[in-house]
Amino acid sequence: MNDIWKAVKRCKQLKEQGLSQADIAMRMKVSRAEVSHLSRFDQLHPKVKALLDKYTLPAAHLRELVTVKNIYQQMQLVKQAYIHDWSSRDLAGEIQLLEEIDTLAKWQTMKDDQLGQKLSTLTGFTSVVKRGRRAKNSTNGGYVVLAFSNDEELEAIIKKLRKN
Rounded-to-integer distance, Cα 40 and Cα 118, Å: 27
What is the dotted CATH code of the domain comprising 3-99?
1.10.10.2830
Q: Minimal CA–CA distance to 34: which of 59, 6, 1? A: 59
For residue 27, the tally of other CB atoms under 10 A from its CB is 14
Question: Where along the chain do its domains lie?
Answer: 3-99, 104-163
In one letter, which amino acid is 38?
A: L
- C-alpha to C-alpha distance for 31 and 95, rounded to whole angstroms: 26
Mean pLDDT of the 119-132 span: 84
- Tens of pLDDT, residue by residue over 60-113, are 999 999 999 888 889 999 999 999 999 999 999 988 877 764 445 567 778 888
pTM: 0.62
The conformational region for residue 123 under phi > 0 = left, psi -120 to 50 = alpha, else beta, is: alpha
